Amino acid sequence: MATAEAEIADDRLAGVAGNLTKAQQSQLTRSRVRAAWLFLAPMLILLALVAGWPLFRTIWFSFTDANLSDLGSAKFIGFENYLTRIDGEWYGVLADAEWWNAVWNTMKFSIISVSIETALGLIVALVLNATFKGRSLVRAAVLIPWAIPTIVSAKMWGWMMHDQFGILNHMLLGLGLISAPLAWTASPDLAMVAVIMVDVWKTTPFMALLILAALQMLPTDCYEAARVDGIHPVKVFFKVTLPLIKPALMVAVIFRLLDALRIFDLIYVLTSNSRDTMSMSVYARQQLVDFQAVGYGSAASTLLFLTVALCTVLYITFGRVRFEGR
């Protein structure tokens, strides 16, 4: 959209320029460029301050032996925090079994939760796209989980999943589905399931909303043609709807994926530093704050940043996602 507007502006500019001499034209262009930079400057400065500077500092720290108790005395140590070989042993984040456990947890979490959210979001969107009474009310209601701050919903679910007083166990026991209370967030087998469950509950509305927006833009003529030809609705969905909403779906998935890869709050509130659910962000925080290893933790943060960047590039390349929407 942004590019389209820019092009229109360019065309207009060309039209005006046609009636001007070359000198006038370049002067106008220069003043316009100046004005553009002037308008952009606050945003660029702000971005550099709140995003660029911390990122740069984190990357710099990752090459030092900085400690939280004494940041001033940090020394440059090259790639030692990442990977180094001393006396036939590998050291550094990349040789740390805990780090790879965190990477594995994050990947598992991201792939499973985003897949479920996409499937459920699609179903919810299709339902909400149909015309029925009180549709706008249902649409608003569906958004509630997304509107609640993550810390609040994580705390809320933490209580609902409590092994002794939690309502979830109470209900399951009442229905006779389980014979003893389950330790949802403490048991090694269930902790990841619990985290994914809460994330799906929370984020499905977001997916549904994005897909619904795509559904509402679909042309009606294809559907009329399909109805005239008597095509089965399931076939219509796979042959018409899905290909048409695919670009929007891909963008929604990439948003969610980027969000899921850096997951922190939900996991930290629900299961703290537990090894069974520790994500890359939780690992980095533990090193940075709990263990005060700022250099080492920064290396982990930088690797997380690179992982997210790599996933994005891979996804855009292989998924052929186009953000222009054309």
Partner 1 sequence: MMMHATLSALFLGALLAVSLPAAAVDLTISCGTVGREREFCEQATSAWAKETGHHVTLATPPQRTNERFFQYLFDLGQGDSRIDVYQIDIIWTGLLAKHLVDLKQYISQTDIEQNFPAIVANNTVDGRLVGMPWFTDVGLMYYRKDLLEKYGLSVPQDWSELIDIALYIQTQERKAGQSEMWGYVFQGAAYEGLSCNALEWIAAYDGGTVVDKEGAITIDNPQANMAIARAASWVNTVAPPQVTSFNEEDARQMFQSGNAVFMRNWPYAWAMLNAKDSPVAAKVGALPLPRGGVKGISASVLGGWQLAVSKYSKNPEVAADLVRYLTSEAVQKQRAIGGAYPPTIMRLYEDPEILAAVPFLATMRPAMESAVARPVPQTGTDYMAVTTYFWDAVHNVLQGQGTAASNLKALEDQLRHVKFRGGW
Using CB under 8 A as the binding rule, whether residue 86 contacts partner 1 is answered as yes
For residue 298, state whether it binds partner 1 (rule: CB under 8 A). Answer: no
Helices (H), 19-166: 22-47, 53-61, 97-129, 135-142, 144-147, 150-160
11 or 70, CB closer to partner 1?
A: 70
Task: Kindly indicate which of the ranges 23-31, 69-77, 167-175, 304-312 contains the residues binding partner 1, using the contact rule CB under 8 A.
Answer: 69-77
Give the tokens for residue 302: 């930088």
Give the dihedral of Cα atoms 234, 238, 241, 244; nearest 10 deg: -170
- CA dihedral 228→231→234→237, nearest 10 degrees, is -60
Stretch that binds partner 1, among 28-36, 93-101, 103-111, 126-134 (CB under 8 A): 93-101
Pick one of 60, 98, 173, 231: the residue that binds partner 1 (CB under 8 A). Answer: 98
270 counts as binding partner 1 under rule CB under 8 A: no
Q: Are 185 and 268 in contact (CB under 8 A)?
A: no
Among 62, 64, 96, 153, interactor with partner 1 by CB under 8 A: 96
For position 296 contacting partner 1 by CB under 8 A, the verdict is: yes
Contacts 24+ apart (CB under 8 A), 138-145: 139/212, 142/205, 142/208, 143/205, 143/209, 144/205, 145/201, 145/202, 145/203, 145/204, 145/205
Size of the site for partner 1 (CB under 8 A): 28
Residue closer to partner 1 (CB basis): 162 or 202: 162
Q: Is 70 in the site for partner 1 (CB under 8 A)?
A: yes
Rounded Cα distance between 243 and 216, Å, is 14
The answer to whether the beta carbons of residues 223 and 236 sit under 8 Å apart is yes
What Cα–Cα distance (Å) separates residue 273 from each residue in 99, 136, 270, 277, 278? 13, 41, 9, 8, 6
Q: Write the interaction track for partner 1 spanning residues 124-153; mark x where CB under 8 A is met and - where it is not.
A: ------------------------------
By CB under 8 A, tell whether 91 contacts partner 1: yes
Nearer to partner 1, 65 or 265 (CB): 65
Shortest distance (Å) from residue 172 CB to partner 1: 18
Q: Residue 240: name the closest of 249, 231, 253 by CA.
A: 231
Please provide the size of the chain in residues.
Answer: 326
Q: CA-CA distance, 298 to 22, in Å (whole number)?
A: 53
Among 17, 68, 107, 236, binds partner 1 (CB under 8 A): 68
Q: How far is the CB of 160 from partner 1 (least distance, A)?
A: 17
Q: What is the pairing mode between strands 84-86 and 89-91?
A: antiparallel
| Both structure tokens of 208 | 């549904």
User: Of 25-33, 60-68, 190-198, 254-262, which segment contacts partner 1 by CB under 8 A?
Assistant: 60-68
The 272-291 site mask, x for binding partner 1 (CB under 8 A), equals -xxx----------x--xxx
Q: Does 292 bind partner 1 (CB under 8 A)?
A: yes
Q: How far is the CB of 93 from partner 1 (least distance, A)?
A: 9
Contacts of 5 (CB under 8 A, 6+ apart): none
95 near partner 1, judged by CB under 8 A: yes
Which chain residues interact with partner 1 by CB under 8 A? 65, 67-71, 81, 86, 89, 91, 95-98, 163, 183, 186, 188, 273-275, 286, 289-293, 296
